[in-house]
Amino acid sequence: MIGKSIVFLLSIFLADARVDFNHSRIFDEFDFKGQATVAIDGLCKDTCRIYASITQESKKFASNILIQTSKGFVSIADVASRVDPTTNQKLFLEINNVATLYIDNANSQMNVGPLVLYVVNKAGSNFGYAEIYEAEDFHRPFSTMVGALTVMSARPFTLKQAHLEGNLEGAPEGVLAQMAGYDALGYATDPCPYLYYLLYGPFPGFTMEVNGPIISLLYDLNQFHFPPGDLTATIGITNRRQLERAGWAGSPGFHGCLDKQPYRSSLYDFSTPFHAEVTNDQPESISVDVVTNSDDAHPVTLTDPENGSEYSISATADSKPVSFNFNAKNLTINWTPDGSGNTHFLVRWNSTMIPHS
């Protein structure tokens, strides 16, 4: 086990860990670990905004990772702490007219702790309009409509939206979710799958367990003119969830975006077998699709525990999911990583469940 952990740490240390999108890049601790300076070309040549998330434990390191600006150095810890006291939205560091932005690591031995750095150019979709929040203590009460919303965290987190109540109880909504920044929302912008996609009335709300650093929601305001119900987030995931109309589960940091590096973090566990349970009180029709690059010795296994039916999936193309249909109350998902940190999987489902308000 120790040997595998060392191999994994070396592999992610040597890998180019950043995740590139058309109008943004998302950096993590391994982009800065052992690096005196990191250069970001092009994104800030006109205008870019920088958002950050760290852990309390990594604050001491983030305080010494310094963004060079025309007015001096700004630490990642400083950027991560910026919050609008009225709305609780994350604030940003804006950079203008810098062809190449430099970020210096002034830590001893260039050490780093868990962090997320989201750098987005003004050409990206929803720039200037999206709401962006830190997952810890996040609460957006039922209020105004929102088109695009992003939640960030250096630790995995659970995001929930309550169903609408009162005069709007029973109102329909349309929502899609992707594990990317607000600029990448919509498949035409970047080839990232919809992890959650539901047009439904009455909209049932949702629970999303985000095994990664960022998720963005896009609300369909063209068809549905209703604000979302209460949105909240808590740190941590359980991998035991109630069956909903739509949902997903995936390996740590895997977003499903084609030809892009998965997100990385020293907090992600690639040695412990993954187990998730999706439960309900009565059978429903459940359609499931799966992608994974794991080999035959480390498949994703879908099981109906009521009748024992089981399917093992391995070595699919990320662009060509394998699909299954179940009529079941419960569905279990199992996956054993190979310890390298280079394998991944994603399971998405839709069901015929009628939500209870």
Count of CB atoms situated within 10 Å of the CB of 56: 9
Task: State how far Cα 333 lies from the chain centre.
Answer: 19
- Residues 145, 116, single domain; the answer is no
Within a domain: residue 261? yes
CA nearest neighbour of 28 among 237, 264, 212, 280: 264
pLDDT for res 187: 60
Helix residue ranges, H only, the chain: 2-14, 29-32, 59-62, 76-80
Within a domain: residue 301? yes
Lowest-confidence region among 49-53, 88-92, 163-167, 199-203: 163-167
- Residues 112, 181, single domain; the answer is no
- Residues 243, 315, single domain; the answer is yes
Range of the domain at 195: 131-351
How large is the greatest C-alpha to C-alpha distance in the chain, in angstroms? 66
pLDDT for res 339: 84
For 100-146, the pLDDT digits (tens) are 999 999 999 999 999 999 999 999 999 999 999 999 999 999 888 89
For 88-112, the pLDDT digits (tens) are 999 999 999 999 999 999 999 999 9
Structural domains of the chain, count: 2
- Residues 140, 287, single domain; the answer is yes
Q: CB burial class (10 A; 0-12, 13-18, 19+) of residue 305?
A: middle
Within a domain: residue 238? yes
- Mean pLDDT of the residues in the chain: 90
Within a domain: residue 324? yes
Mean pLDDT of the 289-301 span: 95
Within a domain: residue 357? no
- Residues 98, 201, single domain; the answer is no
Lowest-confidence region among 26-35, 86-95, 120-129, 279-288: 279-288
Q: Which of 83, 99, 121 is the last residue of a domain?
A: 121
Within a domain: residue 17? no
Whether 4 has a pLDDT exceeding 50, the answer reads: no
- Residues 51, 98, single domain; the answer is yes
pLDDT for res 356: 56
Mean pLDDT of the 277-287 span: 90
pLDDT for res 172: 84
Q: Which residues contact 62 (CB under 8 A, 6 or more apart)?
A: 52, 54, 75, 76, 77, 80, 112, 113, 115
Task: Return the CATH number at 86.
Answer: 2.60.120
Measured CA to CA, the distance from residue 239 to residue 271 in angstroms comes to 16
For 314-339, the pLDDT digits (tens) are 999 888 899 999 998 899 999 999 88
Within a domain: residue 340? yes
CA nearest neighbour of 147 among 165, 131, 161: 131
- Residues 192, 300, single domain; the answer is yes
- Residues 208, 95, single domain; the answer is no
DSSP three-state, residue 78:
helix
Measured CA to CA, the distance from residue 303 to residue 329 in angstroms comes to 11
Within a domain: residue 12? no
Whether 226 has a pLDDT exceeding 60, the answer reads: yes
Count of CB atoms situated within 10 Å of the CB of 141: 10
pLDDT for res 319: 85
- Residues 39, 112, single domain; the answer is yes
pLDDT for res 1: 35
Task: Return the CATH number at 275.
Answer: 2.60.120.290
- Residues 188, 323, single domain; the answer is yes
Mean pLDDT of the 291-305 span: 95
Q: CB burial class (10 A; 0-12, 13-18, 19+) of residue 235?
A: middle
pLDDT for res 341: 85
Q: Token digits for 232?
A: 């909240």
Measured CA to CA, the distance from residue 49 to residue 118 in angstroms comes to 8
- Residues 71, 168, single domain; the answer is no
- Residues 142, 286, single domain; the answer is yes
pTM for the full model? 0.92
